[in-house]
Structure 1
């Protein structure tokens, strides 16, 4: 995506609520709302079923436009919609690094690990303009606070030197989101993201540079990417990229994500709509027995391919024509 010179707007009474306290800039078809951060470190709701308790998100909204993104709901509180607005209207917390430094230095903060980028990819296109992440990484490193970066973007490699410096004083890791390896699905469900192959190349590059990188295998799509062959293909490719960990996650459909995802499903897989209405009729999650079965399958495959083990049962083999391209 090309970021052109911004167009400034003065807030008006008929505009979204977020504009009342924001400086609004336009970059092509993207609108950025520059705001001051009310808080830097936020608690991750237990309902998210993520292995993180605390999060830091420099952006709200995300240009990758993932139809299933659970963070979409947050745009409603800003006077924006959870569909196109989430994809094209990005809230930018321009002073987040300064706020983060103050919170990390507070006596009540216990130095717990934080995840970066849960409410919008912290290396999405806006980061090319605002460059918030270098200051955030430096703040965490100066405090010696462990952190994990979640991303789908190769832009993270820009900050590889900073990540390596931070890793000298605290625990640093990255999780690349790759729920499936079918790029046709990616084009419909994650239209602004790079291909699964490119994300796995990022994983390989980070690991070979000494930054532990795992794969967040989410979302696994019921009746679409949950077959044994599909699960095996994704786990195998993660192993080839040298992933140090693999965390599976079955698709969640909370409010905000449900409508964009079901609209895609009705367009691309209309025959599955009744099945999904049954699976998600009781709420945003599939039945527990289904989730447990999928998790067990992925855990078994990860063990077979040696992910997370110092000594692998399966060794990756690369021929020159299949060598992963390091970004």
Structure 2
């Protein structure tokens, strides 16, 4: 295996360090099949515990993100916009230009030890997946989990990656001393849909096997059923098949979340839609005419269907909320049937 340093000049290194908010940057490629075409920007970050802006609508205040960019290459990923802050492309660049904070574990230990830190909940996997393929090479998460365990600091992880099972023992140790919430993202089980919209991720059945293994080892794991993709993954039979598979995995809860299309992700997703499902473009333009989120009536309809299926298949109420429950909230009131019928006719 060969790493190649691509950074040519001191001037380039200084510019990249300033852009990435880092003390040093080394840019490399890796010549194995799983990383072909991928460039890694290894940085020594200046901070690792990030405060979430209040306007973000996220139900947590602090995050740790050891990577930026993601080889999962999900066409809908809301985090694509963040690559533009680094002067990197939000399309293919997001999938292939990966920023790696190589000093994340040591930096986290230092920040957790600060007198100013109050031991608040830290969410991971909420921007890009901390168990994407790059983690197999860089192995940052064991040090991160160990730092949180040693400080008994509560945390949660959301992932599509099966590599989390490598850290099973660390997660068990952490769960003995603090609150640990694990959620796996599985929006659908349709194989053709998975191959086209999530080409770099493990298959849905492999992710559900992760849920099963975690449960068998005493670590409760919820499923964030996300995204539910309108007109491609929202038929009643598709929802039923997915919820049945989630129930069979032993998930502690299932929380549906309808596709949202923020700037950066919206343009990339709509271009993909025009190539693969051109007949749906106008329907999407109407459904998302008001912004990044599908109308509340549509979200409520999906939530109601999934919750009814969850009850049918014996997934009980979530008495110990994990990350999935923290991210997705259930609307308080569904629209009147007549109003919903009228809105359905519009699309």
Fold shared per TM-score above 0.5: yes
Cα distance in 1 between the residues matched to 2:97 and 2:115 = 36
Q: Is the 8 A contact 1:16 1:78 kept in 2?
A: no
Q: Is the 8 A contact 1:18 1:33 kept in 2?
A: no
- Once the two structures are TM-superposed, the CA of residue 239 in structure 1 deviates from its matched residue by 0.5
Matched, 1:306 2:303: no
Cα distance in 1 between the residues matched to 2:14 and 2:231 = 38
Match of 1:98, SS?
Answer: helix
Match of 1:36, SS?
Answer: strand
Residue in 2 aligned with 1:314?
none
Matched, 1:173 2:181: yes
Matched, 1:95 2:103: yes
Counterparts in 2 of 1:218 and 1:287: CA distance versus 1, 3 Å: same
Residue in 2 aligned with 1:27?
30
Counterparts in 2 of 1:95 and 1:65: CA distance versus 1, 3 Å: same
Q: Is the 8 A contact 2:6 2:28 kept in 1?
A: yes
For residue 64 of structure 1, the aligned residue among 68, 72, 77 is 72
Alignment TM-score, normalising by the size of structure 2: 0.83
Residue in 2 aligned with 1:315?
none
Match of 2:5, SS?
Answer: strand
Match of 1:248, SS?
Answer: strand
Which blocks of at least 5 consecutive residues in structure 1 are unaligned?
311-327
Residue in 2 aligned with 1:110?
118
Calculate the aligned-residue CA RMSD, in Å. 2.2
Counterparts in 2 of 1:119 and 1:27: CA distance versus 1, 3 Å: farther
- Once the two structures are TM-superposed, the CA of residue 42 in structure 1 deviates from its matched residue by 2.1
Match of 2:263, SS?
Answer: coil
Match of 1:233, SS?
Answer: helix
- Once the two structures are TM-superposed, the CA of residue 300 in structure 1 deviates from its matched residue by 2.1
Cα distance in 2 between the residues matched to 1:229 and 1:45 = 38
Cα distance in 1 between the residues matched to 2:132 and 2:312 = 34
Residue in 1 aligned with 2:62?
54
Which blocks of at least 5 consecutive residues in structure 2 are unaligned?
19-23, 32-36, 319-347
Match of 1:289, SS?
Answer: helix
Would you say how many aligned residue pairs link Structure 1 and Structure 2?
308
For residue 6 of structure 2, the aligned residue among 1, 9, 15 is 9
Q: Deviations over 1:152-175 (max 9, x none)?
A: 111111111111111111122311
Counterparts in 2 of 1:49 and 1:179: CA distance versus 1, 3 Å: farther
Counterparts in 2 of 1:109 and 1:246: CA distance versus 1, 3 Å: farther
Q: Is the 8 A contact 1:33 1:89 kept in 2?
A: yes
- Once the two structures are TM-superposed, the CA of residue 111 in structure 1 deviates from its matched residue by 2.1
Residue in 2 aligned with 1:218?
226
Cα distance in 1 between the residues matched to 2:91 and 2:47 = 25
Residue in 2 aligned with 1:143?
151
Cα distance in 1 between the residues matched to 2:55 and 2:273 = 24
- Once the two structures are TM-superposed, the CA of residue 50 in structure 1 deviates from its matched residue by 4.8
Q: Is the 8 A contact 1:266 1:273 kept in 2?
A: yes
For residue 155 of structure 1, the aligned residue among 160, 163, 183 is 163
Matched, 1:204 2:204: no
Cα distance in 2 between the residues matched to 1:15 and 1:67 = 30
Cα distance in 1 between the residues matched to 2:55 and 2:312 = 30
Residue in 2 aligned with 1:164?
172
Match of 1:249, SS?
Answer: strand
Counterparts in 2 of 1:11 and 1:308: CA distance versus 1, 3 Å: farther
Alignment TM-score, normalising by the size of structure 1: 0.88
Q: Is the 8 A contact 1:17 1:79 kept in 2?
A: no
Q: Is the 8 A contact 1:65 1:192 kept in 2?
A: yes
Counterparts in 2 of 1:48 and 1:16: CA distance versus 1, 3 Å: farther
Q: Is the 8 A contact 2:13 2:25 kept in 1?
A: no
